[in-house]
Chains A and B, each alone.
Chain A
Amino acid sequence: MNINRRSFIKSMALKSAVAAAAALFPGISFGAWKEADFPSGMIQWKKTPCRFCGTGCGLLAGISGDRAVAVKGDPNCSVNKGLCCVKGYHSIQILYGKDRFKDALVRKNGKLVKVPVQEALDLVADKMKENIKDHGKDSVAIYGSGQWSIADGYTASKLFKGCIGTNNVEANARLCMASAVTGFMTSFGLDEPMGCYDDIDHADVFITWGNNMAEMHPVLFSRMLANRKSKKHVKIIDFATRTTRSSQASDKSILFRPQTDLAVANAICYEIIKNKWVNWNFVKKHVSFHKGKTNIGYGTQDHFKFKDKAETVDLNKYKAFLQDYTPEKVEKISGVSAKDIKYMASLYGAPDKKVTSFWCMGMNQHTRGTWINNLVYNIHLLVGKISTPGNSPFSLTGQPSACGTVREVGTLTHKLPHGVVMKEKDRKMAAKIWNVPVEKIDPKPTYHTVEMFRALDRGDIRFMWIQVTNPMVTMPNLKRYREGAKKDGRFLVVSEIYPTPTSDVADVVLPSALWIEREGFFGNSERRTQHNEQIVPMPGNTMCNTWQLIEVARRLGFKKQFPWSRETYIEDIWNEYTRFHDSPKHRMAPYKVLKARPGVQWPFVNGMETKWRYNPKYDPAAKGDDFDFYGKPDNRAWIWLRPYEPAAESPDSEYPFWLNTGRVLEHWHTGSMTRRVPILHKAVPASYVEINSDDAANLGITNGSRVKITSRRGSIVMIASIDGRGRPPRGMVFVPFFDEKYLINEVTLDAFCPISKQPDYKKCAVKLERA
């Protein structure tokens, strides 16, 4: 058996290499490679979406007995066509870390001690009741995740918004996708991309905006490379603030100063108009022009409020607005040469080129995140390159169900599964489906994520349940929020799989079942819903997050609203949830269809998936003969006049460097799972600070030496990386945030986009010293 198992693992290793090579070099052949034939019955393969990023790769998990022993890409999944990245290939190992939570823990005399799960759930329900009685319904909150399964988020929203009556529901997707949502809503009136990953196979030009896809979305990056390999004219332009692996693989790397992407996007539009590259047929028929408020602030004070107001303007006003953004003027702001700005404009403007723009955290974690999303849509709308194969402005997601759970289910303070709490008809729909009185659903949103943690610090919130996320690593300006969470009179419940800095401050830890240990659904970046069945048993006393919520809901007296049996509750929840989306604009696939396929794209109408929205050729909800932007009341997509405004905090004489934070290929977000996979941990065992070699030389810092990074909020000592995989320009440092030993968010700033309320983790001012 050992010999067989070893041979099997070696065969998997070789298969992985073949798949990776095939993605990078389409048509590659290996004459000496013969696929090993293993005895049937040794391994059973079961489909599941990957647990990690928002790409939504289809995997096949190999099961032997009760244990997952292997993983490979699902060749039937159109997302990855059999390919995986290094995290995907090691994904099953996240199930088997040695320090997995398998029992409930309750803090007694300052220490977390084991208790029966039912006792812990009793305590959670009692504390909720006590706080609601003593401090009101808005003193309790739930903070979830873009890694929540759809059923988790739906159950949380129903319990908190429908039954308890508080809008204190947020999720960590506020930290990663909120600007994409408000960008879509303000430009198109409906959330989520119009295009899909098939755009990668059709595009002639790819422009990535502050997006290191080679590390963050490696499978999609491989598809881009494969397209370029098969068609010699295809170009990849990396437009970013630092040089990365994506820059190295691109045809051209263009660096801009942080925050000035706003100015460059406007300059591209200026050039498109000046050179008569505008698609006037499209613009006259399908676009309207609008202006919003300016000098909108940064949200760094408690109780910050902002509401934008749209004013309709005409084309002449838009042209006049763009006069401030000639390439020559913008060169001075951005550091991007006028020549390069004109080159990018010419790519967007060329009538015979299909252009896809990709972005992720660089544009979304931005104090003008909504604006920069609007501005990239402006470019595509001016040239009419949208909603057709290969022409796609595409916001990629970072988490496996940021779209499916947070954006579609609506686990944000202002949202409902359909619509928003502020609208009566949306509240009525929710009340009817949830079987609660409509008055129970509060019409006023409460706290977005940053303000929710501020409220916990202030004592306005006193009970918080955190599921599937690690805010004591990820919150910006972290010290304030960690100290706040530890104050007397606060009660924290953490549903987790491994110990984290967040479970360290918990009063109750509920041991969660993970990924293929339970049934669930994710929703990826391209509107694809993906189902996984329970493939392996739950270890110890772990429990599915959805079921934890149901258990507590029943203890709070809401048995009528949560009547489902343990055998069928995931299917029952799906059937109830999809009643919210029963229209051609957002119809979801039935449970049986999702169970059978490696994902289905919504709207799913008359048995057909929708690949490109707003185009009647592909979208059953679109009317007319070419495009129909049905999300907006004027049936048009909106071009916005959004100016360049500086970052909340910029380098100065005291703090002369930009601090930029982000991720690395091998680790998933805060590393609570991937650091427990030996091979991934060994590949990148600790975080580090990337420093430009000239800056390092000036400061006397050498590769591997210790550096103290200090901002107005805190400081940290880390190891320097000079000319490593990422190279920042002079005046910038970059730190990956995956390592809880180096809490870089004690240094970052909690400024956010006033429209989306998404914090900017890419820009604050720091100083460096040798340590």
Chain B
Amino acid sequence: MPEPIIETYELTKYYGNVKAVDHLNLTVYEGEIFGFLGPNGAGKTTTLLMLMGLTVPTSGTATVGGYDIIKESREVRRIAGMLPEGAGYYEDLTARQNLDYIGQLNDIPESEREKRIDELLEAVGLTKWANTKVEKFSRGMKQRLGIAEVLIKKPKIAFFDEPTIGLDPQGTKEVRDLMTQLNKEHGLTIFLSSHLLYEVQQTCHRVGIIRGGRLVAADTIENLSKNIAEKGRMVIEFKLTEIRSDLIRELEAINGVTHIKRGEDNRLYVYMESDRSREVSETITKHGSIILLMKPKEHSLEEIFLKYYEREA
């Protein structure tokens, strides 16, 4: 059982009368990539700012790496790094100077700092631009510099807030690959806040869905998908060469099959209470039709997401 590394207890933040985060209870385990999913304005960024000690919770508390986010926020910032949304850099300094400043603020001794800067510039592919002023950088390059700034302190936990927003597909892929690699090779726990479902599905082990400042679900995508499907139900999608009406009648007669839905292009969706895929395919073949495609229908993250939203609403 992995150890919890981030735990929040009834974490709440009001901006005036507006509830940004509402009694949030959340656990993130060591070594995982946790996807924090929600639409714009759901409270994702506010949660991150509270965890890093940049803003103070109205009530509730949390621990990050065992440190209290209010009383020991400086310790939290020692072991955790954050790449905020719209992070900025010192434009008139070079990439190396920017990294060096952040390194100094983390009390990394000079010789060690230089070594780490070289390694990191290499890792994020900025070695060639090490001595170029950041004002000349593209968004993707700045984002990679930001990741390097997060990593220079060798954090146990990294918070990334919408890290691929505004990047082109190439840049997006590079950032995602980098996150996955860091997690795999260095065991870095990553807390990824995003509203991009595909991104979360691609990279995260577990997701938490936040809505109106409340956590509505937190689990692996598989489990969320299972929970969303009505109990014991499964759907299999078939594509056949031909569909005759008596085939449908015969399929419906199979014990355990609840109903059949016809789709475009000679497709059939067979809804079953228990797994009857063998009987179903035998019946189809018996009728002289050939199965071109057969696959269990999975819930896409989008469906899961929307389902959880509807359920709450």
- Chain A complexes with chain B: no
Q: B-side interface residues toward A, CB under 8 Å?
A: none
